[in-house]
């Protein structure tokens, strides 16, 4: 069996749901990449007894490494390091050099405040001294913010990381390379991991294909396959030891044969990455009704998107469609705001208003009200236009609640855009 790990996410705000846990899933992915089996992710509040109970539970499961996140600040409820020291049977000691480093960081941050009084800094330094209290024999991880992390050797080893993801994620790279962490995970199995992404394929169809492959491919049980349906896309992650590379190659041949039209990525890249690459050197504009700017937000989520995103229009009302995008009111009267002719006219308007060469338009009924027997909730019309004549116009009935329909609409639009940009240019 490979080396095993457990994760303890601390924080009453996470336990209560006021703050979403982003650290547990992120750390789980990093462990998977390293071939470390993840046994448990637990979430507990800031009470020391609850944190210690989670540590003891994971130790009883025989894990080799425990990772904690949160509770490293200077306030009274930040108790993780103290609890870990007690759990590991180690004394807490003041690291004077670390205290000075934290003080310098604080002084630099506070100097940006025009009202900062250097004469009051000593009291602030004392308040933050607890962050420099380190379990004896632990390795210190330099702060990314003001909170240092620590790795405590032992069986299990305990890695203590800060709660804010912007601090935890950079610190992880150094933490996992420490001697204590490397010793703890020395028994890990080295795996290959591949991700295939599909769109427009029911999960049941993929499940049927995998059942057939299991009976047809020798050594299929060497592949560890997980599938996830997200935003209308299927993500299939396969993990295997290097000697099963040929088995995975045979599986990909089966997938291409059965679902070649639906596979859009075999290297793990997402549709957003592919669209960003296809838009290099182009100028795109959006016209959105029911999604109210969600597509434009998604297109601009990638760094460097200002090179190709010209702008977007949220034309929620019929009046806005006419006044801002130039949609003929008679067209809306004849076909309704949720119709392919109106979606097409919105895309034409976006092309013209922004001087773009590519446009995407979305208009639909996101619900929960507003549906009719002819156009029930979930009816969404899409139009993709490119100035060289390539077009894609579709009407779909999307499932789910209002949020689901709006989010799925952006995914459909991204895939229509990807397919249209990838198709051959028309004369």
Domain harbouring 277, CATH code = 3.90.950.20
Q: Would you say 181 and 159 are in contact if contact means Cβ atoms under 8 Å apart?
A: yes
Mean pLDDT value of segment 165-190: 95
On whether both 178 and 197 belong to a single domain, the answer is no
Last residue within a domain, chosen from 206, 234, 265? 265
What is the b/e burial string over 182-206, where b = at least 16 CB atoms within 10 angstroms of the residue's CB?
eebbeebeebeebebbbbebeeeeb
pLDDT tens sequence across 29-60: 999 889 899 999 999 999 999 999 999 999 99
Where residue 308 falls among pLDDT bands split at 50, 70, 90? very high
CATH number of domain containing 196:
3.30.70.2860
- Here the tokens at position 189 are 């199995």
> Mean pLDDT throughout 351-369?
97
CATH number of the domain bearing residue 117: 3.40.980.10
Same domain, 95 and 163: yes
For residue 75, give every residue at least 6 positions away whose Cβ sits within 8 Å of its Cβ, in sequence order, or none.
none
| Total of domains in the chain | 3
Domain identity same for 212 and 358: no
Instruction: Name the 3-class secondary structure at 237.
Output: strand
Question: Angle, to 10 degrees, between the axis of helix 80-88 and the axis of helix 48-60?
Answer: 40
Please state, for a pLDDT cut of 70, what percent of the chain lies above it: 97
* Residue 158 DSSP SS3: strand
| Residue 231 domain boundaries | 192-265
Last residue of some domain: 207, 237, 265? 265
Residues 61 and 151 in one domain: yes
The whole-angstrom separation of Cα 64 and Cα 187 is 9
Q: What is the pLDDT of residue 426?
A: 62
Look at residue 315 and tell me if it is in a domain. yes
The whole-angstrom separation of Cα 357 and Cα 282 is 7
CA distance 105 to 264: 46
Has residue 76 been placed in a domain? yes
* Long-range contacts of residues 206-209, Cβ cutoff 8 Å, at least 24 apart: 206/234, 206/236, 206/259, 209/254, 209/255, 209/258, 209/259
Peptide bond into 368 cis (omega under 30): yes
Q: What pLDDT score was predicted for residue 127? A: 67
Structure-derived torsion over alpha carbons of residues 322, 327, 333, 336, reported in degrees to the nearest 10: -110
Q: Which of 190, 184, 187 is nearest to 243 (CA)?
A: 190
Asked which of 115-129, 182-196, 337-351, 386-400 is least confident by mean pLDDT, the reply is 115-129
Tell which of 237, 265, 293 closes a domain: 265
Whether 427 is covered by a domain: the verdict is: no
Is 140 part of a structural domain of the chain? yes
Average the pLDDT over 209-232 and give the result.
94
Residue 121 in domain: yes
Do 261 and 337 belong together in one domain?
no
One domain, residues 242 and 347: no
Same domain, residue pair 199 and 344: no
Are the beta carbons of 147 and 162 closer than 8 angstroms? yes
Average pLDDT over residues 59-69: 98
pTM above 0.85, yes or no: no
Tell whether 257 and 275 lie within a shared domain.
Answer: no
pLDDT, one tens digit per residue, over 122-149 is 766 776 789 999 999 999 999 998 899 9
* pLDDT tens, residue by residue, 74-131: 888 899 999 999 999 999 999 999 999 988 888 887 777 776 666 666 766 776 789 9
Mean pLDDT of the chain: 94
For residue 14, pLDDT beyond 80: yes
Residues 320 and 205 in one domain: no
- Does a structural domain hold residue 325? yes
**209 and 305 housed in the same domain:** no
In a domain, 294, yes or no: yes
What is the spatial distance between Cα 1 and Cα 116, in angstroms, rounded to a whole number?
55
Say if residue 118 is in the same domain as residue 233: no
The answer, yes or no, to whether residue 427 has pLDDT greater than 70, is no
Do residues 23 and 152 share a domain?
A: yes
């Amino acid at each position: 069996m490979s080396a095993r790990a457990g994760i303890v996410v601390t924080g009453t705000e996470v336990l209560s749901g006021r703050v979403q846990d982003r650290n547990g899933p992120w750390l789980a992915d990093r462990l998977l990449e390293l071939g470390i089996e993840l046994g448990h992710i637990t979430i507990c509040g800031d009470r020391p007894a609850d944190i210690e109970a989670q540590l003891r539970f994971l130790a009883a499961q025989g894990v080799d490494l425990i990772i904690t996140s949160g509770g490293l600040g200077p306030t009274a409820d930040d108790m993780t390091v103290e609890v870990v020291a007690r759990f590991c049977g180690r004394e807490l000691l003041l690291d004077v050099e670390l205290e000075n480093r934290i003080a310098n960081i604080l002084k630099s941050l506070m100097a940006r405040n025009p009202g900062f009084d250097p004469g009051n800094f000593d009291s602030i330094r004392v308040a933050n001294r607890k962050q420099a209290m380190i379990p004896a024999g632990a390795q210190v991880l330099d702060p990314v913010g003001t909170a240092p992390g620590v790795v405590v050797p032992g069986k299990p080893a305990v890695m203590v990381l800060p709660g804010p993801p912007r601090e935890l994620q950079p610190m992880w790279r150094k933490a996992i390379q420490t001697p204590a962490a490397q010793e703890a995970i020395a028994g890990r199995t080295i795996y290959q991991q591949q991700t295939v992404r599909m769109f427009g394929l029911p999960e049941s169809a993929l499940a049927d294909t995998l059942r057939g492959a299991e009976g047809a491919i020798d050594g299929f049980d060497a592949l560890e396959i997980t599938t996830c349906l997200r935003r209308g896309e299927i993500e299939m992650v396969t993990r295997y030891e290097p000697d099963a590379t040929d088995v995975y190659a045979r599986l990909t041949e089966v997938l291409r044969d059965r679902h070649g039209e639906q596979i859009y990525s075999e290297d793990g890249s997402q549709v957003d990455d592919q669209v960003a690459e296809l838009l290099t050197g182009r100028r795109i504009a959006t016209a959105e009704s029911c999604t109210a700017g969600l597509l434009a937000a998604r297109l601009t989520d990638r760094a460097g998107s200002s090179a190709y995103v010209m702008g977007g229009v949220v034309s929620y009302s019929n009046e806005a469609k006419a006044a801002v995008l130039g949609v003929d009111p008679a067209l809306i009267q004849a076909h309704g705001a949720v119709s392919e002719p109106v979606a097409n006219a919105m895309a034409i308007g976006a092309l013209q208003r922004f001087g773009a060469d590519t446009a995407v338009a979305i208009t639909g009924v996101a619900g929960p009200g507003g549906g009719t027997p002819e156009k029930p909730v979930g009816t969404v019309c899409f139009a993709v236009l490119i100035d060289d004549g390539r077009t894609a116009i579709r009407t779909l009935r999307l499932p789910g609640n209002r949020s689901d329909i709006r989010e799925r609409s952006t995914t459909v639009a991204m895939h229509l855009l990807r397919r249209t940009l990838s198709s051959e240019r028309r004369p």
